């Protein structure tokens, strides 16, 4: 898979990848796949498919590459309730299908969920006229990767102020959230109605900012951390402790690193190691077979001059693989004392 395709899948969960895959292949094939899954898995996938809006073409391509399947025609570019219903009805017995459909029908979308169908630049334009506290409330209901892309459209001063607001562990009043959602969503997309979902989860605080910063380049990351540090050294330290960096890979257990290596393309590793510390390079090399080690060394020798941003992108790809494995319970990372697994 190319590095561009790897970037398109940053922090996309396995369940979402599977949902995108099923939503964008011929329905007869999707049905055949789902017929061989457990009812619990079918229910989870149906819920994911229902939550999909318009699926970005680059994301479709990246997911299909990852699943090693190529389809040239008859592909859908839209998820949604109708597709979820059609697939479930065809894939499982009638009684089970009815039960699953009833469950996902009562599931409510998160506040501002309709914004996933709106381009980041368009959202940024609409937010530019809103007060910073309102912007922070809206962004706190979106995933960190989308938030990072929206924030990159802001001027530095506005971006910094919004991030500082997001760093505070504050829960917005549900009634206020509902009013903001009704006004803002109607403003940006009049065809969307308010779903009154103010009881869904909001994300703010150091953990949210730490994840958000993973999607920024080093320059913006440093800019944000300087601003946070000016406001609160304690908060800055909390965020740093939550951030897993490429250098932290040297502290992974050999067993966990070997699991990571199974998820990483050799080309990605060769580029990422160009800018790595000796400790990280040794850690990787010591966990490769003799043949694989020789292959990586040869690839590194053949690489010409590389942009720092290209190296950092490949390092982020590996970090994202680590975070996916952690989320799946396959490995354990921590940023505690030096004796802990990270």
Q: For a pLDDT cut of 90, what percent of the chain falls above it?
A: 16
Residue 78 reports pLDDT greater than 90? no
pLDDT at res. 92? 79
51: Cβ–Cβ under 8 A, 6 or more apart, which residues? 19, 79, 109, 113
Residue 323 CB neighbours (<10 A): 17
Which range, 181-185, 271-275, 319-323, has the best average confidence (pLDDT)? 271-275
Q: What phi and psi values does residue 62 have, to the nearest 5 degrees? A: -65, -45
- Give 258's pLDDT tier (boundaries 50, 70, 90): very high
- Give 332's pLDDT tier (boundaries 50, 70, 90): confident
User: CA nearest 138: which of 182, 103, 106, 78?
Assistant: 182
Alpha helices in 266-305 (DSSP H): 266-272, 278-285, 290-302
Which tens digits make up the pLDDT trace of 112-138?
Answer: 877 877 888 888 888 988 999 999 988
pLDDT at res. 162? 92
The CATH fold of domain 113-242? Annexin V; domain 1 (1.10.220)
Residue 340 CB neighbours (<10 A): 11
pLDDT at res. 279? 93
- 77 or 201: which carries more pLDDT confidence? 201
Residue 334 Cα distances to 70, 143, 284, 292, angstroms: 38, 22, 19, 28
- Give 105's pLDDT tier (boundaries 50, 70, 90): low
Q: What phi and psi values does residue 54 have, to the nearest 5 degrees? A: -70, 130
Q: What is the pLDDT averaged over residues 289-317?
A: 88
The CATH fold of domain 246-327? Annexin V; domain 1 (1.10.220)
Task: State the residue for tokens 């932290």.
Answer: 248
Would the pTM count as exceeding 0.85?
no
pLDDT at res. 281? 93
Identical fold for domains 113-242 and 246-327, yes or no, is yes
pLDDT at res. 201? 63
Are 220 and 150 contacting, i.e. CB atoms less than 8 angstroms apart?
A: no
Are 87 and 49 contacting, i.e. CB atoms less than 8 angstroms apart?
A: yes
Residue 341 reports pLDDT greater than 50? no
User: What would the two tokens of residue 313 be?
Assistant: 């992108």
pLDDT at res. 108? 57
Cα separation, 249 vs 339, whole angstroms: 14
| DSSP line for 135-163 | HHHHHTTS-HHHHHHHHTTS-HHHHHHHH
pLDDT at res. 205? 85
- Give 99's pLDDT tier (boundaries 50, 70, 90): confident
Q: What is the pLDDT averaged over residues 19-45?
A: 84
Residue 336 reports pLDDT greater than 60? no
**So where are the chain's domains?**
3-106, 113-242, 246-327
User: CA nearest 247: which of 121, 156, 335, 134?
Assistant: 335
Mean pLDDT of the chain: 79
Residue 89 Cα distances to 93, 94, 172, 228, angstroms: 7, 7, 39, 51
Q: Which one-letter DSSP state was computed for residue 248?
A: G
User: What would the two tokens of residue 7 be?
Assistant: 């970037």
Residue 2 reports pLDDT greater than 60? no
């Amino acid at each position: 898979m190319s590095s561009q395709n790897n970037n398109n899948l940053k922090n996309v969960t396995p369940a979402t990848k599977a949902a995108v895959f099923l939503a964008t292949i011929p329905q007869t094939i999707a049905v055949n796949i789902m017929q061989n899954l457990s009812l619990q898995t079918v229910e989870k996938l149906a819920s994911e498919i229902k939550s999909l809006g318009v699926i970005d073409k680059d994301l479709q391509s990246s997911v299909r590459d990852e699943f090693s399947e190529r389809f040239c025609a008859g592909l859908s570019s839209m998820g949604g309730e109708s597709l979820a219903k059609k697939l479930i009805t065809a894939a499982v017995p009638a009684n089970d299908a009815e039960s699953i459909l009833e469950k996902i029908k009562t599931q409510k979308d998160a506040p501002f969920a309709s914004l996933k169908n709106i381009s980041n630049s368009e959202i940024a334009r609409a937010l530019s006229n809103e007060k910073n506290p309102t912007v922070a409330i809206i962004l706190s209901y979106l995933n960190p990767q989308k938030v990072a892309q929206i924030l990159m459209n802001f001027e530095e001063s506005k971006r910094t102020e919004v991030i500082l607001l997001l760093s505070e562990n504050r829960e917005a009043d549900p009634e206020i959230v509902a009013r903001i959602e009704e006004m803002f969503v109607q403003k940006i997309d009049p065809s969307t109605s308010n779903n009154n979902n103010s009881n869904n989860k909001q994300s703010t605080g150091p953990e949210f900012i730490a994840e958000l910063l993973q999607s920024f380049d080093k320059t913006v990351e440093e800019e944000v951390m300087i601003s946070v540090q000016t406001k609160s050294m304690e908060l800055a330290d909390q965020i740093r402790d939550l951030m897993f960096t490429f250098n932290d890979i040297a502290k992974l257990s050999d067993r966990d690193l070997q699991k990571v290596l199974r998820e990483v393309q050799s080309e990605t590793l060769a580029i990422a190691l160009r800018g790595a510390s000796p400790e990280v390079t040794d850690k990787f090399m010591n966990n490769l077979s003799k043949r694989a080690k020789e292959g990586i060394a040869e690839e590194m020798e053949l690489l010409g001059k590389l942009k720092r941003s290209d190296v950092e992108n490949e390092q982020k790809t590996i970090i994202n693989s680590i975070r996916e494995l952690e989320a799946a319970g396959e490995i354990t990372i921590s940023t505690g004392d030096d004796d802990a697994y990270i």
